[in-house]
Structure 1
């Protein structure tokens, strides 16, 4: 890990309660995604920890219908937004 900081976007670019994906940086293997909750943004690697595939079925669709949990489109695993812990 390089320890470098990279600006992904402005806070206003992610609607409150929504998520947005970001492509991998040059030379990078996996992209990132961010979920906004008020003034807090949680950023994760866009890869299911169970099977290693990108989480979203279409761009920027990382959350369940209620916008409460992150969902893996490949096998339905659900993760808490606040800490990424798998809950089902």
Structure 2
């Protein structure tokens, strides 16, 4: 299985990544990040993308995967609803 993970630096994304790394059926993991991470593993390939709302620059990289984990988001504490909805 091949998986894509968005939001790998957050709490949920880190947990998803950890489970994917432990699962022998997951052969390849593509992480789409806003900032490069120090995570290195033979299963993991990173793509840095500043604006994850616009995937056109990397759309050719996003084919052939079996699963996509969209783990982007922020706490709603202190945020206006419109801003929270846009981010999450």
Which structure's residues are more often helix, by fraction?
Answer: 2
Larger radius of gyration: 2
Q: TM (normalized to structure 1)?
A: 0.23
Q: TM (normalized to structure 2)?
A: 0.23
> Which protein has greater RCO, CA pairs closer than 8 Å, 6+ apart?
2
